[in-house]
Amino acid sequence: MSDNDILEMESLSDADYLEGELGMIDEELVYPEEFLPTYHSIKEGSKVAKAQLAEFNEEPDSLFFNDGLRRIDFILVYEDEDKKDFEKRHTYQRRKRRREYFEASLMKMGMELEATRSVVDEKLMFVKVHMPWDVLCTYAEVLHIKLPIQPNDLSSRPSPWRHFSFITKYFYPNEDLITKEADFFTAPFEKDRLEYFYIKDKDLFFTPAMRSRMAYYILSRAPYEIRGNIKKFGITKLLDGSVYKAAYPLHDCRFNVKSNEEGCPNERFLLYNEWAHPKSFYKMQPLDLIRKYYGEKIGIYFAWLGFYTIMLSLAAVVGLGCFIYGYKTQETSTWSKEVCNPEIGGKIVMCPQCDRECKYWRLNSTCEASKKLCIFDNYGTLVFAVFMSIWVTLFLEFWKRYQAELEYEWDTVEFLEQEEPPRPEYEAKCIYERKNPVTGVKENVPYTTCGRCIRVSVGIGTVLFWILLIVASIVAITVYRLAAFFAFSARLRAQELQPLKEYVTPQMATSVTASLISFVVIMILNVLYERVAVWITDFELPRTKTDYENSLTLKMFLFQFVNYYSSCFYIAFAKGKAVGYPGEPVYLLGKYRNEECDPGGCLIELTTQLSIIMGGKAIWNNFQEVLLPWVKNLIFRYCTHVASQKVIPRWEQDYELQPMSKLGLFYEYLEMVIQFGFVTLFVASFPLAPVLALVNNVFEIRVDAWKMTTQFRRIMPEKAQHIGAWQPILQGVAILAVATNSMIIAFTSDMIPRLVYYWSFSVYPYGDHASNTMEGYINSSLSTFNTSDFSEHSRPMNASESITTCRYRDFRYPPGHPRQYEFTMYYWHVIAAKLAFIIVVEHIVYLTKFILAYVIPDVPYAVREQMKREKYLTQVILHETNLKLVTKRLKPVDDEIFKHIEETVPKEDIELDF
């Protein structure tokens, strides 16, 4: 293959590669002779499809083949080439040959197929896939599926809420409808020891989720083309190449109508009524049924989301109490009353906060903003921040325990991850050959070592570029803040020293509009970067699906962390920190004067930013998740012109639903982890964050349940032991949250300066107070500036000559002092107090977190005992039984040896040594 051919193949998309490069050799495809009879059975199935439709119309929810005996384990959908135009016939013939070879391979591997033509669209063909008992047993052993060997004889620990069952029963799914699953000890299935497994009914021994998982395992490995020594295989590549239009397991019934089919469990109907229906929003989730129907990967997500939501209820109660405390004390706060007092705040003239156009203003113009700030900036906030640092540790530790229980109950404790097959996109571009360092066998790879370095470098460079783009957007929004504050200051204070409105200040107007713009920019960048991140990950060509998801997880979380949190970090730790003083202000880019905080601090702006981003994101996500799938399904049904779903079979009803994205669950996790960051990283500035998160998650659980149950095809069941890479990400956010919250209290809020003022009367008095009181704090926290010291560039236009001094937020010596405009001793005391606060709080909280993590075991004692009991039973029932069989087989051989010795050797020569 020439270099030009390689470059051309690299430029093709995966689908183009499958259609082009692989399609060119279809004419050379050689079909094994033993596969030829299966082609005729496939074609015959298509011919009799019309005769089967009458039965399907009578039984639209049938889950069986036409004989009513063989269960459908998977559905394949394709378009019939014979119905296409003659001009496109050549392309479709190539696809047809691949499809026939693939279906023949499936039948050769033991699967049974039956073809049926669509009722709605005659061009569509549905291939039903069934796995016989022997095939199920074989692949259950291959996949190490754990199945029951004996009922659990250990008494379960009684629930601490059992005495309140007359109340709690209303918060659980109806036990008459969703019965509790029988508890068994399990062991990895072995076909040769079938008699030792607990089998009551062969048809029910393997659950539909297990059957679908095994079917997909075969579909992913069945070959569809052999070219020399190269074998092409897998349903994924056939879907990418449009050989098949869809492949999915079946829902067992309609979500809102109970099936009349004999033996149908109606699990989808039960999930909808007891889980996804809005009327069940207050009920606990039927996790065992979710896991049984959708698999462990979906089950563990909803278990984590439900546990997170329950833990949020505790944080929400404390946060709401903190908010109510602040709301009740806003009118009695001494420093807030001083701001609003006409005799104090009304007589304090503040310096302009921008050059030339801004005017002097009275401190009491920020009265309402100061009252609102008291709601969030109070001593209760400090207690709540420390509480949340402990809460997040308890959440993660108790989740580990709960996850360990689920691992045992769902048989994923010793889940053996099979070596994943390469992704189709990876295999399609394998054009280089190398020696595997582990096996020593030559294998094809899509790039050389140098090529991989180039791909990774391009990926890292692209991620860094987008992160810098976010930083640039933050700078642009900061410039907007400066320009908007300049405009609002000129208009909202058009009359000298008088605010236009009581509730609208330049700071508040700037903060709200900037937060809205920031939210819009965040959502736009988020949509764009999602595509860029997927493109980068595709370009890097990870070998397996796990590698792909891990790489994409890192990129997406890193980007969204910067995207969502950067504006909050700016307000919390950058705004108002380097502004100079009116005589020598600090300028951004040498032109724009840096923003200053309100005299009460920047905390209220951080609260506004968080509330807008959290609220807007929650509303947008739920709107998108509910509306888009519903509209798409509605349009599809309208285009098909089918009057009623009752006239079409189960597999066609499911085909009309939306396919679940390959990364659908990834985006669900990402959404919740970003929310977790808002709840923990900045909770010191917004105690209502857990309340908003709790309300959102109550809806999120039901919205996700509703769309999976009603709007999407049945998701392919997958095994999962835990939440994967998200666990260390959550732990990292929890560690960072301690530092951010302590720094918010120290540097963003005004709590430390107030505490220094409150307790310093006997050591180093600041102000005129002589006891533990906050009287005079506002006057003490404002420095004085002589208006004659303004530079010509920053001097206010048309200023009154009667104003000789103005005040500004800082701790500097007044004009006329030998060290005028330099920092006072109070400033350095406050800085020392802030640093000491951060060090002490962080060490106390981190020590508490460490102690809690050490004291709380990751695996509950009862679960450890059950795991030991299960291992013991597995040893006794399976391994010792096998030893007895070996001993029994050897016994006849030993008898023959002794008999031969007795016949050939004299008795006096036989010595037995015991």
Residue 699 has pLDDT above 70, yes or no: yes
Q: Which residue has the tokens 């052999």?
A: 226
> Of 424, 326, 168, 416, nearest to 687 (Cα)?
326
Q: Which of 251-260, 854-863, 891-900 has the lowest mean pLDDT?
A: 891-900
Residue 21 has pLDDT above 50, yes or no: no
Where is mean pLDDT largest: 305-314, 321-330, 384-393? 305-314
Q: Are 549 and 663 within 8 A, CB to CB?
A: yes
pTM metric for this prediction = 0.81
Give the HSE-up count for residue 368: Cα atoms under 13 Å, Cβ half-sphere: 10
pLDDT band at 509 (very low <50, low <70, confident <90, very high): confident
The first and second tokens of residue 175, run together, are 């036990």
Residue 475 has pLDDT above 60, yes or no: yes
pLDDT band at 465 (very low <50, low <70, confident <90, very high): confident
Question: In angstroms, rounded to a whole number, what is the distance separating the alpha carbons of residues 769 and 757?
Answer: 9
Per-residue pLDDT, 914: 34
Q: Are 310 and 744 within 8 A, CB to CB?
A: no
> Of 278, 235, 214, nearest to 102 (Cα)?
235
Residue 32 has pLDDT above 50, yes or no: no
Question: In angstroms, rounded to a whole number, what is the distance separating the alpha carbons of residues 865 and 863?
Answer: 5
Question: In angstroms, rounded to a whole number, what is the distance separating the alpha carbons of residues 229 and 446?
Answer: 17
pLDDT band at 337 (very low <50, low <70, confident <90, very high): confident
The model's pLDDT over 651-676, given as tens digits with 9 standing for 90+, comes to: 988 998 888 877 778 888 988 998 99
Residue 902 has pLDDT above 60, yes or no: no
Per-residue pLDDT, 75: 93
The model's pLDDT over 349-362, given as tens digits with 9 standing for 90+, comes to: 888 877 777 788 88
Provide CB contacts within 8 A for 39, sequence distance 6+: 31, 100, 104
pLDDT band at 49 (very low <50, low <70, confident <90, very high): very low
Residue 229 has pLDDT above 80, yes or no: no
pLDDT band at 835 (very low <50, low <70, confident <90, very high): very high
Tell me the percentage of the chain whose pLDDT exceeds 90: 12
Collapsing DSSP to helix, strand or coil, 113 comes out as: strand
Q: Which residue has the tokens 């069952």?
A: 165
Residue 318 has pLDDT above 90, yes or no: yes
35-63: b (≥16 Cβ within 10 Å) or e: eeebbeebeebbeebeebbeebeeebbbb
Give the HSE-up count for residue 297: Cα atoms under 13 Å, Cβ half-sphere: 17
pLDDT band at 719 (very low <50, low <70, confident <90, very high): confident
Q: Are 209 and 294 within 8 A, CB to CB?
A: yes
Residue 249 has pLDDT above 90, yes or no: yes
Question: In angstroms, rounded to a whole number, what is the distance separating the alpha carbons of residues 631 and 103?
Answer: 34
Question: In angstroms, rounded to a whole number, what is the distance separating the alpha carbons of residues 878 and 45?
Answer: 43
The first and second tokens of residue 763, run together, are 């050591």
Residue 568 has pLDDT above 90, yes or no: no
Average pLDDT over residues 460-469: 81
The single-letter DSSP state of residue 593 is: E
The model's pLDDT over 755-797, given as tens digits with 9 standing for 90+, comes to: 888 777 555 555 555 566 778 888 888 899 998 888 878 888 7
Q: Which of 2-11, 265-274, 348-357, 443-452 has the lowest mean pLDDT?
A: 2-11
Per-residue pLDDT, 463: 79
Question: In angstroms, rounded to a whole number, what is the distance separating the alpha carbons of residues 58 and 60?
Answer: 6
Average pLDDT over residues 33-52: 42
Give the residue, 903 or 266, on which the prediction is more confident.
Answer: 266
The model's pLDDT over 343-390, given as tens digits with 9 standing for 90+, comes to: 888 888 888 877 777 788 888 888 877 888 888 888 888 889 889 988
Residue 11 has pLDDT above 50, yes or no: no
> Of 522, 688, 509, nearest to 617 (Cα)?
522
Q: Which residue has the tokens 């964050």?
A: 689
Provide CB contacts within 8 A for 738, sequence distance 6+: 389, 841, 842, 845, 846, 849
**Residue 763: how many CB atoms within 10 A of its CB?**
7
